[in-house]
Amino acid sequence: MTEQSNHSFYKLLLLYGAGIALILLFIKYLDYGLFVRTVPFEIYIGVIALMFTVLGIWMGLKLTNPKTKIVQVPGDSQADFELDPNILKAKGISDREYEVLMLIASGNSNKEIAERLFISLSTVKSHNSKLFDKLDAKRRTQLIQKAKEAQLIA
C-alpha cells in the first residue's frame, strides 16, 4: 500500500472505532434510562442490531469501493504514437491482424472483437493464433508486452 492509502485506512479505522464507541455510549445511556423499563427487550435488541447493521454496511462500502484516481501520463497516449509500417511488414502482420491486436490491447474479448470488426468468432481466434505465433507469445498479456517491445503499440 502507498503511504496515502495507509493514511486513509488508519483514518477510516479510527472513524470506525469512534463510531463503535459512540454506539456503546448510546447503549449505556439507554440502559440507564427509562427505555429498557418501558419498551420490550426485543425492541431494545432490535435497535442495537439495526445500529450495528447500518455501521457495518457503511464500513463495508467504504472499504470495498476505494476511490481511485486515473492519471494521464504525458506522452503515453495513442495520439502521440505513430506506427512504422515497415515493422508490420518485418513481423509479417496484416492490417486486419493489427486491428485485432489493437482491440486485444484495448481489453476487448474475442466476441467483442468479432462484433466490432463484423467477422466471425473463429476468424478472430485465427487472427489471435497467428499473432501469438508471429510475436512468439503464449498469453494475451505477453502478446501485448511483446507488441509494445516491438513498437507495434504504445
> Each residue of 83-121: pLDDT tens digit?
778 888 888 999 899 999 999 998 899 999 999 989 999
Look at residue 73 in the predicted model and tell me its pLDDT. 45
DSSP class of residue 106? Answer: T
Q: Do 105 and 150 meet the contact criterion of CB atoms below 8 Å apart?
A: no
Q: pLDDT band at 3, cuts 50/70/90?
A: low
136 to each of 45, 124, 127, 130, 131, how far by Cα in Å?
64, 18, 14, 10, 8
Q: Which one is the CATH code of 78-149: 1.10.10.10, 3.40.50.410, 3.40.50.150, 3.40.50.720? A: 1.10.10.10
Q: What is the mean pLDDT of residues 70-77?
A: 48
How far from 151 is each of 28, 101, 132, 140, CA to CA, in Å? Answer: 67, 12, 16, 16
Higher pLDDT, 75 or 145: 145
Average pLDDT, the chain: 79
CA 154 to chain centre: 22
Q: Give, in order, the Cα–Cα distances in Å from 30 to each of 34, 36, 51, 151.
A: 7, 7, 13, 69
